[in-house]
Amino acid sequence: MRIGCQRINSRFITYRKALGLDAGLDYHSFRRSYVTHLIEDGWDPRFVQEQVGHEHASTTSIYTCVSSDFRTRTLRRHLDATVAAALQVQNGKQA
Question: Can you give the pLDDT at residue 82?
Answer: 93
Nearest in space to 40 (alpha carbons), one of 62, 67, 77, 61: 67
Torsion of CA 32, 33, 37, 43, to 10 degrees: -30
Question: Can you give the pLDDT at residue 94?
Answer: 60
Question: Can you give the pLDDT at residue 90?
Answer: 82
CA distances from 1 to 11, 27, 38, 69 (A): 16, 21, 31, 44
Summarize pLDDT for 69-82 with one digit per residue, the tens.
988 998 999 999 99
| Cβ atoms < 10 Å from Cβ of 5 | 9
Question: Can you give the pLDDT at residue 4?
Answer: 86
Please list the ranges in the chain whose pLDDT falls under 50.
none
pTM value is 0.65
Contact 31, 63 (CB under 8 A): yes
Question: Can you give the pLDDT at residue 55?
Answer: 95
Residue spans per domain, the chain: 1-64, 67-95
